[in-house]
Structure formats: structure tokens, C-alpha cells
Amino acid sequence: MIFWYKKTLARFLRLALREYPELLNGLDLETAQKRETANILVGRLAANERRYQDVTISLMVEISSMKNFRELEQLEDKQWLERAQQAVSELQGLTKDYKQSAEEYSRFEKELAEAIEEAEKGRAISTALASLKEKFLVLGSDPDPQGRGRKFETFLNELFALFDFYPRAAYSLEREQIDGAFTFDTDDYILEAKWLKSVVSREQLDTFAKKVERKGRNALGLYVSVNGFSSDGLAEYQSSSPFITMDGSDIYMVLDGRIALDDLFLRKRRHVNETGSCFFPASGIFTE
């Protein structure tokens, strides 16, 4: 007997059979002999073997996994400890295959649940991207440039939030306006977002660079311009830049599901760290 005290056996059975109260119904767990309790319980399990097969195997596997017998270890007569160890060892041989199968099934269930969760997350992201893509196309035909700019900032916040970039809305400082900010991979960025009829000029990039530099040594920036950047502006920041850039083509590839925003951002950041250049188009990833 691996349980020396009746109360210990009672506590174990009540916990192990909490979903099968009928198996314990009528058993005197507090005063009856432990052997008598065990015989009645085994008889009930055997009488309805098909119904209780899983719980029987579960009990066998749980008992065979026991390694400590503290109550028996405290007894002067060590024969009881040796008997318990021998009984559990024999049970381990009987339940080895069942235990392995249970572990494999448990692992399969976990992997299946993770796969289902990942698939559901993927479908949710795809649905959200489709909605954002429609908003992006509608913004392109907005005749009000100023109104489109404000809506574009909101659009970017929604896109960033979808990929857990923790965006923050536009805010004003004493002498400058910040279009927004976000956090990616523990780094904080300030945002400049433009949807102009023409490209962003070198002068505009210079202004943003100064904004970033004034924020501190570890400050980083992202300049988003739907219609791109001037060639002289990109040339100025091709060897040393405190910011990275995104254009409309980058955004569209993300909205089209061709690349995840976080993957694109990692690649752009690695590029600026390795080369100093602020510009790395999403299309470049597919030609590397």
C-alpha cells in the first residue's frame, strides 16, 4: 500500500475521481480498512470497464509516476517502503506504453491548439488588412489633401496596432509637431507621415532628422511618404541616417499580405544599421 494513512488515501481518491463521484459514493474513506476501500473501488471500475477505462488508466499512470513515499520513509520497518517501491515499479512496466501514448496525445493536442490559434490569428489579420487596404485606396481619391493627411495618420496607427507596434497619436511640443510615435522591438520611434502630390524633398528629410536628433541619443524615426522621396534626399541619407523610410509601395505590399509589417521593419532597420542608408524598399527583399 503506497498510502500509509487513510486520510492521505482519501484525499488522493477525492482529487483523482472528482469527476466520477459515483465511484466514491458509499465508501467510508475515513474509517474503513484501506484494502477494503481499494477492493471495492477496483470492483466498481471492473464492473463497468468500458465506461471507466480512461479513468482506470489515468489512475494507474498517476500512481506509477510516484517517486516519493514520505509517509512510508518515516516508518522504522522499511519493508513497507520496499513493497510500495516494488509495486510502483511493476505498475510502471504495465503503464509504460499508456503513459507514452498519453504524453504524445497531450503534445498533439497542444500543437493542434497552437496551430488553430495561429490560423485564427492569421485569418483575423487577413480580414483586418483587407479592410485597411480598402481604406488606403479610398484615401488615394480624397480631394482634400489636409483632411487626407489626418486620416492617413489614423490609418497608420491602425496598421501599427495590428502588428503590435503600440502606436501613439500625434502630439505637439513647444516648437514642433510630431505626427505620432510607436514602439517596436523595445525601441521607441517618432513618426512623420506625408501623403503629398509630389515626393518628399531633402529639406523635409533634414527637418525630420533634426527632430529625431533632438529626442536623445537613442531616438529613432520613421518617415512615411506615400509618393516617395527625392533622389537627392535619399542620397543625403544613404550613409548615415537617424531614421528609416517607407513609401506607398511598401505599405501596399503589407496590405496585400505579401510581407508582414514587423518582418519588413526588421529588414529595414537591419539595412540602416549595416549601411547607414535610410532607404530599403520591400521589393528588395524578394530580389535578395
Question: 219 and 170, same structural domain?
Answer: yes
**Does 43 fall in a domain?**
yes
Cβ atoms < 10 Å from Cβ of 113: 10
Kindly state whether residue 149 falls inside one of the protein's structural domains: yes
Predicted pLDDT at 77? 72
**Angstrom distance (rounded) from CA 185 to CA 208:** 22
- Both 154 and 252 in one domain: the answer is yes
Say yes or no: 158 and 245 in one domain. yes
Which residue stretches of 2-78 are H helix? 6-16, 21-24, 34-47, 49-64, 70-73
Residue 125 lies in a domain: no
Same structural domain, 149 and 95: no
Of 105, 131, 155, the last residue of a domain is: 105
* Beta-carbon count within 10 A of 237 CB: 24
State the pLDDT at residue 243: 96
One domain for residues 251 and 176: yes
CATH of the domain at 158: 3.40.1350.10
Angstrom distances, CA of residue 124 to CA of 98, 133, 177, 236, 254: 38, 14, 34, 40, 15
What pLDDT is recorded for position 238? 95
192 falls within a domain: yes
Which of 105, 133, 152 finishes a domain?
105
- Same domain for 274 and 169: yes
Whether residue 246 sits in one domain with residue 178? yes
- Which residue in the block uniquely carries the three cell numbers 501623403? 195
pLDDT (0 to 100) of residue 17: 82
Q: Are the C-beta atoms of 38 and 16 separated by less than 8 Å?
A: no
**150 and 280, same domain (yes or no):** yes
For residue 117, being part of any structural domain is answered with no
What is the identity of the amino acid at 183? T
pLDDT < 50 positions in the chain: none
Q: Tell me which amino acid residue 127 is.
A: T
Res 13: pLDDT: 78
* pTM over 0.85, yes/no: no
Provide the pairing of β-strand 171-172 with 177-178: antiparallel
Amino acid 84: pLDDT? 67
CA distance 163 to 182: 11
Mean pLDDT, all residues of the chain? 83
Range of the domain at 244: 142-287
**48/178 same-domain check:** no
Q: Are residues 88 and 149 in the same domain?
A: no
Provide the domain count of the chain. 2
Q: Terminal CA-to-CA distance of the chain, rounded, Å?
A: 68
Q: Is residue 34 part of a domain?
A: yes
C-alpha of 154 from chain center? 26
pLDDT of residue 135: 93
116 is a domain residue: no
Q: Are residues 146 and 197 in the same domain?
A: yes
- Domain contains 121: no
Q: At what angle do helices 6-16 and 49-64 cross, to 10 degrees?
A: 120
Cβ-based neighbours of 45, under 8 Å, separated by 6 or more: 23, 52, 55, 56
- pLDDT at position 28 is 80
Residues 146 and 268 placed together within one structural domain of the fold:
yes
Task: Give start and end residues of each alpha helix (H) in the chain.
Answer: 6-16, 21-24, 34-47, 49-64, 70-73, 79-140, 145-162, 202-214, 231-236, 248-255, 261-275
